[in-house]
Amino acid sequence: QQQVKQSPQSLIVQKGGISIINCAYENTAFDYFPWYQQFPGKGPALLIAIRPDVSEKKEGRFTISFNKSAKQFSLHIMDSQPGDSATYFCAARLGFRDTGNQFYFGTGTSLTVIP
């Protein structure tokens, strides 16, 4: 069962446009929601993250919007650039005191920004 559902699977955006990727979850025990950016041949890198007691977090051109009641969160990339072309994964963390945190990933969104 997919713990975190992500959409769309792929996204094509013009340079300067806004890229929006959505994720939804069911488990209300998740306590931390990171987004990872992955370029081909590289490991995922943390992009931005949010805790469920915050509705929005912005870092530069990247913003997470979080809707706790709807159990949804989204990544917005403003002024999208060709260098943003990558695969983006949302994730959710389940904290376990005795066995270590577990992270559940969405299925990924392949973003292409056209010059």
Partner 1 sequence: DAMVIQNPRYQVTQFGKPVTLSCSQTLNHNVMYWYQQKSSQAPKLLFHYYDKDFNNEADTPDNFQSRRPNTSFCFLDIRSPGLGDAAMYLCATSSSISPLHFGNGTRLTVT
Closest separation between CB of residue 83 and partner 1, Å?
18
- Strand boundaries in 19-71, DSSP class E: 19-25, 33-38, 45-50, 56-59, 62-67
Footprint on this chain of partner 1 (rule: CB under 8 A): 32, 34, 36, 41-46, 49, 87, 89, 91, 93, 95-96, 98-103, 105-108, 110
Considering beta carbons, is residue 17 or 103 the nearer one to partner 1? 103
Considering beta carbons, is residue 24 or 49 the nearer one to partner 1? 49
Closest separation between CB of residue 85 and partner 1, Å?
15
CA distance readout (Å), 82 to 15, 69, 86, 109: 7, 34, 9, 15
How many CB atoms neighbour CB 36 within 10 A?
Answer: 21
Closest separation between CB of residue 79 and partner 1, Å?
25
Considering beta carbons, is residue 42 or 115 the nearer one to partner 1? 42
Do residues 6 and 111 touch, judged by C-beta distance below 8 A?
no
